[in-house]
Amino acid sequence: MDGSATAQSTRWGPFGRPIFNDPQAQRLSRLGVVDVGSNSVRLVVFDGAARSPAYFYNEKIMCGLGAGLSETGTLNPKGRKRALSAMIRFAKLAEGMGISPLTAVATAAVREASDGQEFCDEVEAATGVKIYIIDGEEEARYSAQGVLLGWPGSYGLVCDIGGSSMELAHVADGEVGARVSSALGPLKLLEIKGGEKAVKSHIKDTMRDLHDSMDNATAMRLFLVGGSWRAIARIDMERRGYPLTVLHEYRMTARQITATRDYIRECDLDELRGRCDISSERMALVPCASLVLDRLIKTFKPKDITVSSYGIREGMLYEEMPQPLRDRDPLIESCRFAEAKDARQPGFGPRLYEFVLPLFPRADWQKKRLIHAACLLHDVSWRAHPDYRPEVCFDNATRANLGGLKHSDRVFLGLALLHRYTNKRDGSRYDALFGLLSDKRTLEAEVLGRAMRFGAMMWLGAEEKPGRLKWQPKDRILELTIAKNAQALFGEVAEARFKGLANALDAQPVIKTAKSIS
* Sign, Cα dihedral of 298, 304, 309, 311: negative
pLDDT at 17: 73
Query: 119, 134, 149 — which closes off a domain?
Result: 134
| In a shared domain, residues 308 and 455 | no
pLDDT, the chain, mean: 92
Q: Is residue 302 part of a domain?
A: yes
Phi, psi of 516 (to 5 degrees): -155, 165
Average pLDDT over every residue of 413-429? 91
Structural domains counted in the chain:
3
pLDDT of residue 19: 74
Do 102 and 90 meet the contact criterion of CB atoms below 8 Å apart? Answer: yes
* pLDDT for 194: 93
Please tell me whether residues 283 and 214 are part of one structural domain.
yes
pLDDT for the residue 21: 66
φ/ψ of residue 477, rounded to 5: -120, 130
pLDDT number for residue 6: 44
Query: Is residue 320 included in any domain, yes or no?
Result: no
pLDDT category at 461 given cuts 50, 70, 90 is low
β-strand pairing of 27-36 with 103-106: parallel
Does 128 lie in the same domain as 149? Answer: no
What is the predicted pLDDT for the residue at 124?
97
Q: Is residue 171 located within the same domain as residue 284?
A: yes
User: Is residue 162 domain-shared with residue 267, that is, in the same domain?
Assistant: yes
| Mean pLDDT for the stretch of residues 132-160 | 94
Domain enclosing residue 162, as ranges: 137-314
Spatial distance between the Cα atoms of 382 and 341, rounded to a whole number of angstroms: 12
Say whether pLDDT at 442 is over 50.
yes
The pLDDT value recorded for residue 218 is 59
Q: Are the C-beta atoms of 51 and 95 separated by less than 8 Å?
A: no
Q: What is the pLDDT of residues 360-380, one digit of tens each?
A: 999 999 999 999 999 999 999
- Asked if residue 491 is part of any domain, the answer here is yes
Residues 6+ apart with CB under 8 A from 339: 346, 347, 349, 376, 377, 379, 380
265 shares a domain with 401: no
Provide the residue type at 4 as one letter: S
Q: What single-letter DSSP state applies at residue 486?
A: G
Residue 416 sits in a domain whose CATH number is: 1.10.3210.10
Looking at 11-15, 281-285, 316-320, which range is the least confident one? Answer: 11-15
Domain boundary (314, 346, 376) is at 314
Residue-wise pLDDT tens digits, 120-138 = 999 999 999 999 999 999 9
- CA gap 229, 144 in Å, rounded: 15
Which of 17, 23, 47, 15 has its CA nearest to residue 325? 23
Query: Residue 225 above 70 pLDDT?
Result: yes
Residue that is last in its domain, among 314, 339, 362: 314
The strand ranges marked E within 288-435 are: 304-308
Q: Are residue 352 and residue 483 in the same domain, yes or no?
A: yes
CB under 8 Å to 479, separation ≥6 — which residues? 469, 470, 471, 472, 510, 511, 512
* 458: CB partners within 8 A, 6+ apart: 355, 466, 467, 482, 486, 489, 490, 494
Tell me, yes or no, whether 118 and 163 share the same domain. no
Question: Is a pLDDT exceeding 70 seen at residue 23?
Answer: no
Answer left, alpha or beta for residue 98, where phi above 0 means left and psi between -120 and 50 means alpha: left
Overall average pLDDT of the 449-468 stretch: 85
CATH number at residue 246: 3.30.420.150
- Taking residues 265-270, report their average pLDDT: 94
Cα–Cα distances in Å, from 503 out to 302, 446, 449, 491? 44, 11, 13, 18
Q: Is 186 exposed, middle or buried (0-12, 13-18, 19+ CB in 10 A)?
A: buried
pLDDT tens sequence across 43-61: 999 998 889 999 999 999 9
209 and 346 fall within a common domain? no
d(CA 149, CA 181): 21
pLDDT score, position 1: 40
pLDDT more than 70, % of the chain: 95
Question: For residue 156, is pLDDT > 50?
Answer: yes
Say which CATH number the domain at 85 has: 3.30.420.40
- Based on the fold, state whether residues 436 and 344 are members of the same structural domain: yes
User: For residue 4, what pLDDT is reported?
Assistant: 41
Whether residue 112 is found in the same domain as residue 73 = yes
Tell me if 30 sits within 8 A of 45, measured CB to CB: yes
pLDDT band at 429 (very low <50, low <70, confident <90, very high): confident
Q: Which residues contact 298 (CB under 8 A, 6 or more apart)?
A: none
Whether 33 and 87 map to the same domain: the answer is yes
